[in-house]
Structure 1
Amino acid sequence: PPPAKAEPAPAEGDGDGVSIDAIFGKVEVAKPAAPDAASVAKSSIDAFIGAMRKSSGTSPTKAVAAGSVAREVATLLLRTAEATAMELMASDPLAALETSWRGIRMVVSSSPGADDLAIDLLDSDDTELAARIEQRLDLPPMDRPDAVFVAPTIDSVATLAELASVGARWSVPIVVSAPVELTGLSLDDPASEPPVPAAWAELRARPQAQWLCVATNPVVLANEELGELQRTVLGSPSLAVAAMLSASVGQTGGPGQIFGRAGAMVGPASYRKGQGERAAFLCTERLATTDQQRAVGKRGMLVLSCERGSDRLRLSAAPTVHGGGDDPQLPGRILAGRAARFTQAVRDELPPHATEREVAARLAQASGAFLPRSQGAVVLEVRKDANGKVGVDASVGGGLAGAAFKFSSDL
């Protein structure tokens, strides 16, 4: 007799087995309640495991179209990859590296093609910061930098005092980032005016604090949205000030154009802060009004800010920590430091008993090195007192320094 017909093979997934397509077809990736990386990853994995449990020991449901399965699998994998990437970028080592890189990029890109700008990088922890900076400043006067910018946030008044002393010794202003709460004020509570903390008041009373500028209110360096996830990278306000100064030097030849609308600079990014009608796009962590900036400035701290809904960084003031009397603001202090180092360099080149005429001749010869593009905004004059001591008086125009000021140095 002819052989019996073979029974048809059972469909894949029949019986006790369960097909992978069937499992994926049952996956329902729910939107997490909180749009953070951990929630998205957990939601995706839980959905997959739940689908496997439903399939265990049961017959598969109606086959899901291959295209639908592929789309859901792709969505699941994409969300998991995005969530994992978000978590990795938020880890301390990567976050610190990214913040530093984006901050330096902001400074470099603020003044493209400026040949008279140079940037040196120094890597140090808080415990050795002042000592490391001092080592790098031990150079001939005119080889020192015009300013030092410290990117990490410094919340120790003792460390700030050390940095002020280093800046004063080498005639180089140091700009750091610090929380506004050191002054006793808060940007979140503009109405209150508590007393100045004793440690901050003591720091401000030091003459060396003329060489220290403290900036607050971090700048937004990047803002990324991946589905329901959002990642905002905040960076050092001191590096934002460095970028604004660099832009001013590139445009005018001096550091003075950093205030108000003329000195505003487009920030690297902005983010949405708040909900509903109170929501606003900001390029700094918090919105600081002009009145808030002035109130904090009176206590010797610079507040970086922006306009609501604007992508431009703005400054209304840039005081030094000392900030007393006729002290110039940061652009003026930078030029005062350059003038002090310039006269020191001239003094070191002159014989001990140089005459007034010899000093004037040497100044005229070297004046081009003070500011290559000063265009007559800096006037250096030699003076001689009743005792025969020779000195130099410098007059700097407001276009270069933000406000006109005079500087005097004995030789």
Structure 2
Amino acid sequence: MALSKIFTLRYYAQNTGFFLLLFYFFFGIVPGGQILSYHYTLIKGFTGSLDFLALVCFIWLLYNLKCMMFILNALSAKEHLFLYGTIGLLEGSRKWKTWYWLHLTLYTPVLVYSGLAVLVALKLQFYPQAVIILLFNVLMTIFPLWFYDRKVKHPGTTSFLARWQHRVNKTFRKPLWLIYIYELLNNNIKTLAISKGASLLVIILTCSLMGGEYDERYILTGFLVCLLLQSLIVYNHRHFDDLYLSLLPQLPLALWKRYLQMGLTYLLLLAPEYILLIYRIMPAAAPLHLLLIVVLGVSVLMLLRSLLYFPGIDQDKYFRWLLLIIVGLLFLTLARLYWYGVLVMQLSAYAVFLSRYYRYEAPLEKVD
């Protein structure tokens, strides 16, 4: 009971907003009479496609890591130091049962839904998928126990990830265009994972709903939705530059090289979407169209970042410009005028970057 108050009850209390949003997504967006058919269709979709199932398993993995980090952080809190003298004294099967039950109480939402997915997969005779889901969740409930036990036995040691990051910082010299990507991977991994997971889900749904006949307009429309999901990361890029890289314009670097580095940053940022999308459409898409997708995505993000060099572009104005650009590209996509859109975006982005980069001044409230 004491462990439930320390871990389980506190976990669900701290993540009330997260679970309310999750509840709305699974039960609030569909009429009450269609909830069963909605979930049956959803489960049928990801159990019938290995790519979709891989993405769902990745999302479950992220949730499992969320549970693990909560327990490890709780063990590191000063007010919970007494746990090392209680749980640390347990031995044998009792110790492992305690850790297993504790982790299971946090992982239960995924476990319940994955159990329903196994039943649906068996009903539809998707036996390999059912085995994959079953084994995956068994692994998700077992491998965290080693980390908990190690934390109790070695409370003062740093994690493997922290040691790895420290070693990378010492041995790897990051170029300028990689600094923001490194920041996302270290301090904003949750935002990055959510945006990437949503984007990959959109790509899988787009390719699955397209059917057997390839239509580049259908693909590009879905890809524009992915770019919408990355827009907040681009907006935060300015905030990061204002806080940590405000002296960057004083470096002796040509302006065209700075512009090229910005393009490399967003090319790497969109790499997961490019890899999955090209993998899904490679047999049917022409090489020129694959190049179009790559250039289009980078051009949209470069234009959005360039617009942020204008003074007074707050979040509201930024999203107005974003919607205007996406709607304009949508009309050009429907008219098959793709390359005109890319040309207009690149010329506009470079013109704004050229005229505003050295004139931009970070607002004082952002750097204090």
- TM-score interval, normalised by the smaller of the two chains: under 0.3
Larger RCO: Structure 1 or Structure 2 (Cα < 8 Å, ≥ 6 residues apart)?
Answer: 2
- Output the TM-score relative to the length of structure 1: 0.22
Determine which structure has the larger helix proportion and give its number: 2
Q: Which structure's CA Rg is the greater one? A: 1
